[in-house]
Amino acid sequence: MSVDVMTGGTIPVGAKSVSFTNSTGSTVYVNNCALAGFPTKVPVPNGGGSVVFSPPGPAAVAGNYSYSTSASIGGTMPVIKVQ
């Protein structure tokens, strides 16, 4: 499953990484995601990329985890849903 960097998406419980898609035409930075093990600031290049949770990064726990980006998204923060 891939998460759109600008709108968010869903990953399964137990995941140890997030695969992002990015069709903005430039690198977008993901910031301030509260998902355990998620780095503080991550570049997602145009086309997409994966973020591996920091070792010994715990597996993802069910919940909704909002984050901000370096690109304008109209005031709504995207969410990674873990379910």
How many domains does the chain divide into?
1
Rounded to whole angstroms, the Cα distance separating 41 from 33 reads 8
Q: Using CA atoms in the order 51, 53, 54, 57, what is the torsion angle rounded to 10 degrees?
A: -170
pTM, two decimals, is 0.89
CATH number of the domain residue 11 falls in: 2.60.40
The pLDDT tens digits for 21-77 are 999 999 999 999 989 999 989 999 999 999 988 876 678 999 999 999 998 666 788
pLDDT of residue 54: 85
pLDDT of residue 76: 80
Which two structure tokens, joined as six digits, stand for 38?
Answer: 């998620």
Q: Which residues constitute the domain of residue 71?
A: 2-82
